[in-house]
Homo-oligomer: A and B are copies of this chain.
């Protein structure tokens, strides 16, 4: 059991949209991810997903509205809700989601990361 320093962990990688596992808690992973640009519309059938912004801004488009997350803000996207994450500038985000969660949810494509690295 070791503590995790977010700044130090985020300094260890530079690729976007590729979540890294930073901790394991019950049946979930804590993941760190750098985002820049637009992702893909998707939803998760069975899993709620938390986004906590630690640096930058993250726009989460929903089908009926947008949520703009700034530093120190989080949102929990309930299972089944379609969402599209967009970061105009680089953003650093903590994700919390069940181990079974795939980053692209119901949509599998070249951006799917099936086996995230541990960091």
A69 beta carbon closer than 8 Å to chain B: yes
| Contact status A72-B7, CB under 8 Å | yes
| Contact status B72-A25, CB under 8 Å | no
Q: Please tell me how many copies of the chain the complex holds.
A: 2
A3 beta carbon closer than 8 Å to chain B: yes
Which of A7, A26, A50, A70 gathers most chain B CB within 10 Å?
A26
| Contact status A50-B74, CB under 8 Å | no
> What are 18 residue pairs bridging A and B, where the CB atoms are less than 8 Å apart in the complex?
A1-B77, A1-B78, A1-B81, A3-B69, A3-B75, A4-B74, A4-B75, A5-B73, A23-B50, A23-B76, A24-B48, A24-B76, A25-B49, A25-B76, A25-B96, A26-B98, A28-B28, A30-B76
Q: Which residues of A contact B (CB under 8 A)?
A: 1-7, 23-28, 30, 47-50, 54, 67, 69-70, 72-78, 81, 96, 98
